[in-house]
Amino acid sequence: MSKEAGRPPVTVSIGGEDHTIRANVEPEYTRKCAEWVDTRITEIKMQAGLIESHKVAILAALSITDEMFEAQAQVEGIRDSSTRRAESLVMRLEEAMAGTSEE
């Protein structure tokens, strides 16, 4: 999570259990993260039926990690595409500038 120290602890509900979280971020951010995890746990419980809570937590962690890796791959693709476009524009500008300096 982030930088600023001294934030108050936040109590959140994840998987039907209350947890007190101490983090160096805004309490609302902690709540948002907890809500995301809780939603994923609820989805997995509904899909898988009755399974042990630690197994649900592991499946939720794997699902969220997969989502993160997919997002990272998308960001990398956008970064690569942007870099190629910027390099192309630089080349075009250099060609245009070279053409005007010869005149």
* Pairwise CA distance, residues 27 & 91, whole Å: 47
Would you give the DSSP letter of residue 16?
T
Overall pTM > 0.85: no
Closest-CA residue to 10 (of 25, 49, 68): 25
Query: What residues pair up with 21 in beta bridges, in sequence order?
Result: 10
Q: What is the pLDDT of residues 4-52, one digit of tens each?
A: 457 899 999 999 999 999 999 999 999 999 999 999 999 999 998 878 8
Take residue 15 and report the two structure tokens written for it.
């998987």
